[in-house]
Structure 1
């Protein structure tokens, strides 16, 4: 049976738009694969350490020459790389924080990107893995909007997930998620609701379709 690697990074344990949508995708996936495997990491509740000198230098040291700290750092990076390589599909919740991704997700990326293995080679070790990113945001950064040039979530993740790791990246983008809680956005509530409904529909459809494709 297929394996799904599911990462959430929203700091909110409840009321998170990205968590809502990844949950819809995952349910659709699990309905198709009741006996399948889900590798789940809540990067906000159980954050990974940021990359350190030990984690970097361990890659350039022979195993027998690594310090205890380097060996531990290398073991973590290897564990994360193996989870990515084992996955038949990847699901990532990536809300926009201050125009970019949460630092918890950036920590995962810095640990899992291993030059010569998962990146930096002609055929990265997880190349081609279908990856769905739920890139929620409180406002709108769509083409033609005033803040279009401040959208650094999908543009960054296209580069790092697609170009570096070689993953096959697709986005679901719930927008205007703050419309119900920010008085100045009250006029945008209907558009927010429509975006939320579309994101849920897309997640259910894509989760089911991807699971069926991999099972074929």
Structure 2
């Protein structure tokens, strides 16, 4: 049996492109691996209390017998999130770009996780495990576009997932996701549809590559 951890950060349920592409990864993994447990963490539908991070962080510098009930609770929350990650064979993070930066829900969750000793900087508990970052952008941010360089999220997420946590990361990016509902982007709708189809194909291909790897070590 394999365990897949999946995190979603989209504030949309219906119509979310990041959720749809992550669904493709999940369904491909489950179909090819067979008996698979999926551990879900939806940080948009069930957001992390932003006060937990500070409380847990300071608790780490407080002797155990002097910690307050709030500190113990915050550390227990961080440990439960860390357990979900540590027990996974593969991990999926579906996180859209919001206001040119990282989703506040994902960033708060990440900060809390990093207060657990297993995920403190330098620990690399997940080193070498396969991971997927599904990220979406409403407009176009490529070189030569007016918004080139405005995506301040993807680079940071790659840095923390690849370099800090050590995941063997596949990144699936989709742009122009707002074309269908934005009149000013009407001329880009066909390109947006092709990008979405390409993202689903890339997601399936990446997931199949991971299933080969996971089966070889089972």
Report the TM-score when normalising by structure 2: 0.93
> Is 1:177 matched up with 2:177?
yes
C-alpha contact 1:113 1:165 (8 A) present in aligned 2: no
SS of residue paired to 1:172: strand
Count of residue pairs brought into register by the alignment: 215
> Is 1:59 matched up with 2:66?
no
Q: CA deviation at 1:115?
A: 7.0
RMSD across aligned positions (CA)? 1.5
> Is 1:131 matched up with 2:115?
no
Which whole-Å CA distance do the structure 2 matches of 1:166 and 1:110 have between them? 17
Specify every segment of 5 or more residues in structure 2 that has no aligned partner in the other structure, as ranges.
none
Greater share of residues in strand: 2
Which whole-Å CA distance do the structure 2 matches of 1:129 and 1:48 have between them? 25
After TM superposition, list the pairs within 5 Å mapping 1:132-211 onto structure 2. Answer: 132-211=132-211
Residue 112 of structure 2 is matched in structure 1 by 111
**CA separation of 1:52 and 1:41: change in aligned 2, threshold 3 A:** closer
* Residues 87-112 of structure 1: per-residue CA shift (max 9 Å, x gap): 11110111111011221111111111
> Is 1:29 matched up with 2:29?
yes
Residue 17 of structure 1 is matched in structure 2 by 17
Residue 73 of structure 2 is matched in structure 1 by 72
Which whole-Å CA distance do the structure 2 matches of 1:95 and 1:74 have between them? 28
Which whole-Å CA distance do the structure 2 matches of 1:29 and 1:92 have between them? 14
Which whole-Å CA distance do the structure 1 matches of 2:81 and 2:117 have between them? 15
Q: CA deviation at 1:166?
A: 2.1
C-alpha contact 2:28 2:207 (8 A) present in aligned 1: yes
Which whole-Å CA distance do the structure 1 matches of 2:125 and 2:30 have between them? 25
**CA separation of 1:193 and 1:202: change in aligned 2, threshold 3 A:** same
After TM superposition, what 4+ stretches of structure 1 lie above 4 angstroms from structure 2?
none
Q: CA deviation at 1:199?
A: 0.6
* Residues 98-156 of structure 1: per-residue CA shift (max 9 Å, x gap): 011221111111111137531322x4212222211111111111233221210112111
Report the TM-score when normalising by structure 1: 0.94
Specify every segment of 5 or more residues in structure 1 that has no aligned partner in the other structure, as ranges.
none
C-alpha contact 1:135 1:153 (8 A) present in aligned 2: no
20-29 or 152-161, larger mean C-alpha shift: 152-161
* Residues 157-208 of structure 1: per-residue CA shift (max 9 Å, x gap): 1122222222222210111011111111011011101100001111112122
18-27 or 138-147, larger mean C-alpha shift: 138-147
